[in-house]
Amino acid sequence: MKKKLLLILVCVFLGITAFKFVEFPETDITNGIIKAKLFPDESKGYYRGTRFDWAGVVPSLEYKGHSYFGQWNQAPYDPKLHDAIMGPVEEFTPLNFEEAKPGEQFVKIGVGVLVKPDNKKYTFATDYPIKNAGKWTVKQKKDQVEFTHELVDGVGYAYVYKKTLKLVKGKPELILEHSLKNTGIKPIEANTYNHNFFMIDKEPSNENIRIVFPFDVKGDGKGFGSIIHAKDKALSYTREIVKGDQVFSAGLQGFGPNAKDYDIRIENTKTRAGVRMTCDRPLEKIVYWACPTTSCPEPYIKLSAQPGQEIKWKINYEFYTF
């Protein structure tokens, strides 16, 4: 009886494992210093929502025995849930949403052509119908994965978007290289931000987590002044965030117009591990959001590409211990 039960459990385990492998293609990259796992999104990718760019879901990254990402969302998994995603993931503001009438289409870079169902304002939590997901191409190497998204919407927007997640040779660094070529007849004007779903060594959002800036940061909003404080050049918690708490600022203040202020660190002072985020473009704004499992500085930048123009930008993640 025991042997039979054990056999059943093994079969179930193997079945689940096989299901996950088929359902969510995975790839590993390393430079000998950092090890990272990616979900290269295809027709059956881990994330199929309409909020975030489908390229570059990173369920895990390890450096010197420290982990930086993981499954922070405790809700039942649904591939179309707007935040069923992990890692340093990005979102672009929608193109043509305000002008579109109900039933007409708009564009999300890195997602595709979507349908506007009604006259309500755009909300990132809405699962908009996908009319055209475009064409994805994925190229993998030992230390990097390159995603290319080609899209033509039929009414003037078209682009070739490339995003490469690359580990730097001989350094504990991950670079997100981007290029966007406007192949349509309409100009592309958008903002993009990285949500940065960090969970350093799976530490809860508490007094052991701090976020450091190169300027005197100021912030207000839900939880500011009670659960979290903006003082001098850092955000620090007064206690652990628990279920039901709200920590959110629509815009931290204090940064200037130069790219040098896009220089943000998040650290776990308990395990002595951190990461530094920099970019070659100036900040447009910084949103801050946190829940019990993750603390997320969300830096925005502005993008503009005229028809025929190609623009490029990079975000650098430097992992360290202290």
For residue 43, the model assigns a pLDDT of 64
CATH number of this structure's domain 2-321, picked from the four choices 3.30.300.30, 1.20.120.420, 2.70.98.10, 2.60.40.10: 2.70.98.10
Q: What is the average pLDDT score of the chain?
A: 93
Q: What is the pLDDT of residues 138-178, one digit of tens each?
A: 999 999 999 999 999 988 999 999 999 999 999 999 999 99
pLDDT tier for residue 41 given thresholds of 50, 70 and 90: low
With contact defined as beta carbons under 8 Å apart, do 275 and 320 qualify?
A: yes
Domain ranges of the chain: 2-321
Structure pTM? 0.91
243-286 per-position pLDDT tens digit: 999 899 999 999 999 999 999 999 999 999 999 999 999 999 99
**Number of other CB atoms surrounding residue 254 within 10 Å:** 15
